Amino acid sequence: MKGRSEWDRQTTNLKHLAESYGTTFPFPDGATARRMNDKETAATATAIATAADRFKDDLDKDKTLPKPEKDAAKKDVEHADQAGRCGEVPHERRQAGDR
């Protein structure tokens, strides 16, 4: 059963690899998977932060929204904004190809 034990080890490796791509092994029918590099992740984090800033500005300009609702919305947006900024990649962690 040498081949069987090797296949079991390889299956475990493929399951771990699939997890890093956000999927499962065996791969689901019709599914796609890809990994984002640091540059793509940083760009997404920046887009989230920019959208959060725009939304907060729009909330400030809206005179029809009651203050408690406006404050609650701002708090929610600030949470998303902070989460997005946590995704920014420090310069020293970037790969040479990600610049």
Higher-confidence residue of 6 and 92: namely 6
Report yes or no: 81 and 55 within 8 Å, Cβ to Cβ. no
- Domain spans, the chain: 1-35, 36-99
Instruction: State the amino acid at position 8 in one-letter form.
Output: D
Peptide bond between residue 26 and the one before it cis (omega within 30 degrees of 0): yes
Distance CA 21, CA 27 (A): 11
pLDDT at 2: 67
Predicted confidence at residue 83, as pLDDT, reads 66
Question: From residue 41, how far is each of 12, 31, 37, 50, 88 by CA, in Å?
Answer: 27, 21, 6, 14, 7
| Main-chain dihedrals φ then ψ at residue 40, nearest 5 degrees | -65, -40
Q: Give the tens place of pLDDT for each residue, 36-87.
A: 888 988 888 888 888 888 988 998 899 998 999 988 888 888 877 676 566 5
Query: Residue 15's pLDDT band (boundaries 50, 70, 90)?
Result: very high
Q: How close are the terminal C-alpha atoms of the chain, in Å?
A: 48
Where is pLDDT greater, at 22 or 13? 13
* Confidence (pTM): 0.52
| Most trustworthy range by pLDDT among 8-12, 42-46, 78-82, 88-92 | 8-12
